[in-house]
Amino acid sequence: MKVLIANRGEIAIRVMRTCREMGLTTVAVYSDCDRGAPHVGYADEAYRLGPNEAVASYLRIEGLIDVARMAGADAVHPGYGFLAENPDFARACAEAGLIFIGPPADVIALMGSKTAARQAAIRAGVPVVPGTEAALGLDVTDEAIARMADEVVGYPLLVKAVAGGGGKGMRAVPSPRELPSAIRAARSEAGSAFGNSAIYLERQLERPRHIEIQLLGDRHGTVLSFTERECSIQRRHQKVVEESPSVAVSLALRAEMAACAAAVARTVGYTSAGTIEFLLDAGGRFYFLEMNTRLQVEHPITEMVTGVDLVEWQIRIARGERLTLDPARLLTPRGHAIECRVYAEDPDSGFLPSPGLVTGLRTPSGPGVRDDGGVAPGYAVPVYYDSLISKLVVWGEDRPRAIARMARALSEYEVLGVKTTIPFFQWLLRQPEFHEGRFDTTYLDRLLIERGDRSFAEIGEPAEEVAVVAVALHAYLRAAAGVTVAGRTGSRGAWRQAALGEGLRTS
């Protein structure tokens, strides 16, 4: 079986690794600026898609189908982002005789509409956040929407795009006065991002948690739920840290949420990997939010606490195999896992993208550490795509040990040539609310406002200084005992250079 991965960067490499373990041949695709990207070199074969712009390369359905035919591929894995939740792409693959490693096109289309997904949840008997059930297109006036806001939803509320995700096309409305401007802004952003300016209204819960349930469904009617993921650490509605399990979810609540997630999936005939997202309020009540009909960025933490390779099962399900996993095992997490999304962004400049040439790289390793990276020294992070360069994942026997391991891993992680969010994560892991699990979806935005404009880069220095002092002290004590310690007498700069030296050059 030959699999074309219709994606790039770290997720392309992650999918290819499982394919290689399964003995499958992999086909990479690339735009001009990605010609020398690590995912291209990792694949068995690679083909040019087109120019740098995503619309002319990674988003071009016809071009991807042509490459699949040219390469003699049997199947296509979409990864996440780009065309992963595009029903037209899934349909085009099927029409071309290619196995689409994901759910059917009609299910993607159904659950891609947030209003249709809400209706599916209601049919499944799953609670939803109060809101409007129909899409509000351009033919619905602001006056009509205002009446719905007053009579059906109530304030505060959210104006949300029917299509897409990632916080795009979403505006918070604390009172009726802000509603008209929020409608205009949400429609405009949704139209630009998704080609669909339809919106709907949803009650804004006060400081909820964002909890999600991973699913697998096969073509024989079996749907299995996994233990939850905690995704409440968000900046402007974008997840930045995820963990599993959640400190806020009891065994009974986990079982109830898992059953509701499976009920939604069965209602729509879902197959492959997918995720049901819930909001959890302070009183322990949860509400269906939406469904992601693809592999999630944060899927590795589920893999770490369950031992299940989700990509492998996506492929096996696509080949028509039955799920043989033990349901009880999937709902009984082993230990605790945390993921930090490492972006090529400058946290000291409002998290602006930081494209450029990666001149040096030192990635963490050791027990319980997994780095799903997509860059290498000599590779230029482009301006054209999402700036995620790595998912740093750790596992520990419990949450405190996982946090300590993540702190250690972050202290080992260095990327030279571009700014990254590593100093931000080092700062975040020192916050008492994070250690105590006292956070919600608004926590990080509030914390950043309180923090002001101090540099995150200051956070990493003390740990490095301590390491250098420790090395010097160790050398002194060894020398005093008559033991010569070689290679430990240089400056901090020499220490860093050694850590990023010859043995780490991969291109």
Q: Is 71 exposed, middle or buried (CB count within 10 Å of its CB: 0-12, 13-18, 19+)?
A: buried
Q: How far apart are CA 341 and CA 354, in angstroms?
A: 15
Instruction: Residue 363: name the closest of 385, 339, 388, 342 by CA.
Output: 342
Give me the DSSP letters along 276-298: EEEEE-TTS-EEEEEEE-S--TT
Helix or strand holding residue 343 (H, E): strand 336-343
The SS3 of residue 26 is strand
Q: At 285, give phi and psi (nearest 5°).
A: -90, 135
Encoding tokens for residue 425?
């994560």
Yes or no: say if 358 and 259 are a contact pair by the CB < 8 Å rule: no
Q: How far apart are CA 234 and CA 212, in angstroms?
A: 14
Catalytic option among 8, 294, 316, 370:
294
The SS3 of residue 426 is helix
Helix or strand holding residue 366 (H, E): none
Q: How far apart are CA 334 and CA 78, in angstroms?
A: 29
Q: How far apart are CA 448 and CA 129, in angstroms?
A: 27
Helix or strand holding residue 490 (H, E): none
Q: How far apart are CA 84 and CA 89, in angstroms?
A: 8
Q: Is 237 exposed, middle or buried (CB count within 10 Å of its CB: 0-12, 13-18, 19+)?
A: middle
Q: At 241, give phi and psi (nearest 5°).
A: -135, 135
Encoding tokens for residue 88?
């037209």
Q: Can 294 be counted among the known catalytic residues?
A: yes
What are the catalytic residues? Answer: 294
